[in-house]
Amino acid sequence: KKTVEDFALENLVVTMDADGITTVTLNRAAKRNALNAETVEELIEVFSNLPRMGARAVVLRAEGTHFCAGLDLVEHHAEDRRPEEFMHLCLRWHEAFNKMEYGGVPIIAALKGAVVGGGLELASSAHIRVADQSTYFALPEGQRGLFTGGGATIRVADLVGKARMIDMMLTGRIYAKEEAIQVGLAQYLVEDSEAKAYEIARAAAENPPLSNFAICSAISHMQNMSALDAAYAESVVAGVVNTQPASRGRLAAFANKTAARVKPGQG
Ligand code: 1HE
């Protein structure tokens, strides 16, 4: 069975503990973790394999003070890409980010500093985003004479709505702190985004893997379906998940009154 030691990575570092809590680190701090073509290939390699390697939850974090500065603009300039070359590169970004969003393993992004352009596309492919006081979000594509190519038109529009996304792209508007939470760019604002991300990852990893698989793939798939098909797919997923052996003990605990009740403060 493949282990995290088998990955050959230049720009990412991957570790997994005995509980399957996995850390994926963007390790290109000198370039503010800008996404060059090689890093995108490494994201594909890692997120294609982690779900089959026993990962129960992933914390996506970054070295340095910025989460990710987006597309590697220096590489893009040097390569002087033709339209079809960039189109194919975008397809690789989509491959990486779809593996994340649809992979069935919870991914918690621990954010800090710049989460901009393609960095926001990366963060929006995680299932939960945790910001700290330094975190800021922007889509500077307009000012750079570019357009989003890593799924922002789908995922960022999904988070903040079409009008806000268009404003961000036209004007370079930056969202941070409480305002970023209010518009939906992150779900948590804390002092230490990594500590919180691990807390969330450990809590999520307590759920049966099949439940997490459904939560971290079915909801996204169903959003792409008609309401009629989504309702059908939901019934099939619930049929499998809600009858799994792993839920029997949990249901028994509720029935015999040993399980925690769903009340504030009872975690
Ligand atoms: C980079 C990149 C990058 C930094 N590509 N090399 N993204 C942007 O428009 C954001 C561009 N970056 C910045 O605005 C700033 O770098 C930061 C605010 C993120 C950080 O500022 P700072 O002062 O800490 O660092 P710096 O001095 O600007 O950069 C340090 C180094 O990182 C420097 O390299 P060096 O070799 O001269 O030391 C920078 O060149 C390098 N660096 N950001 C390449 N993005 C699929 S389409 C997606 C389209 C987009 O993502 S558009 C948004 C692009």
Phi, psi of 162 (to 5 degrees): -60, -45
Asked whether the predicted pLDDT for residue 267 surpasses 80, the reply is no
Which residue among the candidates 42, 101, 121, 194 is catalytic per the annotation?
Answer: 121
Q: Write the pLDDT tens digit of every residue in 229-256.
A: 999 999 999 999 999 999 999 999 999 9
Which residue among the candidates 45, 101, 141, 194 is catalytic per the annotation?
Answer: 141
Is 10 a residue of the active site?
no
114 within ligand 1 shell (Cβ under 6 A):
yes
Which residue's CA is the nearest one to ligand 1's atom 46? 149
Cα 135 to Cα 37, 77, 160, 177: the distances in Å are 25, 27, 16, 7
3-class secondary-structure state, position 257: coil
β-sheet with 107-110: strand ranges across: 12-16, 21-26, 57-62, 107-110, 128-131, 188-189
Burial class (CB in 10 A: 0-12, 13-18, 19+), 216: buried
Domains within the chain, CATH numbers bracketed? 4-204 (3.90.226.10), 225-255 (no CATH)
Which residue's CA is the nearest one to ligand 1's atom 5? 72
Per-residue pLDDT band at 265 (split at 50, 70, 90): confident
The CA distance from 136 to 65, in Å, is 12
Q: Which of 11, 27, 31 to mutate to test the pocket of ligand 1 (most atoms within 8 A of CB)?
A: 31
Q: Write the pLDDT tens digit of every residue in 80-93.
A: 999 999 999 999 99
Percentage of the chain beyond pLDDT 90 is: 98
Q: Write the pLDDT tens digit of every residue in 91-150.
A: 999 999 999 999 999 999 999 999 999 999 999 999 999 999 999 999 999 999 999 999
Burial class (CB in 10 A: 0-12, 13-18, 19+), 183: middle
Which residue's CA is the nearest one to ligand 1's atom 9? 140
Is 141 a residue of the active site?
yes
Cα 129 to Cα 187, 193, 198: the distances in Å are 6, 9, 12
Report ipTM (2 d.p.): 0.99
